[in-house]
Amino acid sequence: QVTLKESGPVLVKPTETLTLTCTVSGFSLSNSRMGVSWIRQPPGKAPEWLAHIFSNDEKSYSTSLKSRLTISKDTSISQVVLMMTNMDPLDTATYYCARILRDSYGQYYFDYWGQGTLVTVSS
Amino acid sequence: DIQMTQSPSSLSASVGDRVTITCRASQTISNYLNWYQQKPGKAPKLLIYAASSLQSAVPPRFSGSGSGTDFTLTISSLQPEDFATYYCQQSYSIPRTFGQGTKVEIK
């Protein structure tokens, strides 16, 4: 069964760097049809896609946050890591990791999600 | 970036009603459109992918249609467990973007 679980700090201070880890099971990060995205959702707002990574190490980032984000993976331990620098109170949100399925028609969708982790940015 | 606009932002409906939610893309996205359902405190759940394909284990009362810039999600007969917020999301280009959501409330 496919699961994803986010872990990381619940509270960070402004200007600090946030590091989040997504540990996956039930699929391999080396599967060419699958990738992992990070998506965040501020309280009461819509989800916002942040970044993704695929088995071939292909990476993409949000246009507005690109300079602050780094995504990486360690296939051997089934983990994907997201780093976000220079945190601000406006970055307070629930952060989710989600599996991306790339189907045979070239469609991409988030078919499994982690439970999410609420990160609060405050001094 | 492609902007996704949903309407309405919220609606009130009764059990058994037919509900339609609209999503419009700021440029053509072919059928690269997905729909998610989110309940309070939970992660979004995939309902429909590729505009009209029903995700496994999702009840057939959910259906999606559209292509190009205009899409709809229809719930044919609203059930108590369907009261939630629904989001569309485009997978045509990077960055992936979501609509602002439609909250379906009990009338």
- DSSP 8-state assignment for residue B30: T
Nearest to B94 among A60, A107, A109 (CB): A60
Distance from CA of B7 to the nearest CA of A (A): 14
pLDDT confidence of residue A71: 98
Q: What is the pLDDT of residues A57-91, one digit of tens each?
A: 999 999 999 999 999 999 999 999 999 999 999 99
pLDDT, tens only, B20-41: 999 999 999 999 999 999 999 9
Answer whether A28 touches B (CB < 8 Å). no
pLDDT band at B107 (very low <50, low <70, confident <90, very high): confident
Q: Which of B45, B46, B87 sits opposite A47 (nearest CB)?
A: B87
Q: What span, in angstroms and rounded, lies between the C-alpha atoms of A111 and A120?
A: 26
The pLDDT mean for chain B works out to: 97
Looking at residues A14-34, what average pLDDT do you find? 97
Kindly state the average pLDDT of the residues B49-71: 98
Does the structure show a pLDDT above 90 at A95? yes
CB-CB under 8 Å, A109 with B34: yes
Please report the pLDDT score of residue B9 as a whole number: 98
* pLDDT value of position B20: 98
Residue A3, C-beta contacts closer than 8 angstroms, at least 6 positions apart: A24, A25, A26, A112, A114
Q: Suggest the residue from B96, B97, B98, B103 to mutate for an interface test with chain A (most A CBs closer than 10 A).
A: B96
Q: How far is A49 from chain B (nearest CA, A)?
A: 6
Q: What is the nearest CA distance from B50 to chain A, expressed in angstroms?
A: 6
Question: Which of A37, A109, A115 lies nearest to residue B46, judging by beta carbons?
Answer: A109
Contact B13, B76 (CB under 8 A): no
Residue B29 near residue B68, CB atoms below 8 Å: yes
For chain B, give the percent of residues with pLDDT over 70: 100
Q: Do B91 and A109 make contact, defined as CB atoms within 8 angstroms?
A: yes
B63-79 pLDDT, tens digit each = 999 999 999 999 999 99
Q: Which residue has the tokens 């467990």?
A: B81
Q: Are strands A59-61 and A93-102 parallel, antiparallel or unpaired?
A: unpaired
pLDDT for B82 = 97
pLDDT band at A96 (very low <50, low <70, confident <90, very high): very high
CB–CB contact A107 B98 (8 Å) = no
Q: Which chain A residues contact residue B21 at CB under 8 A?
A: none
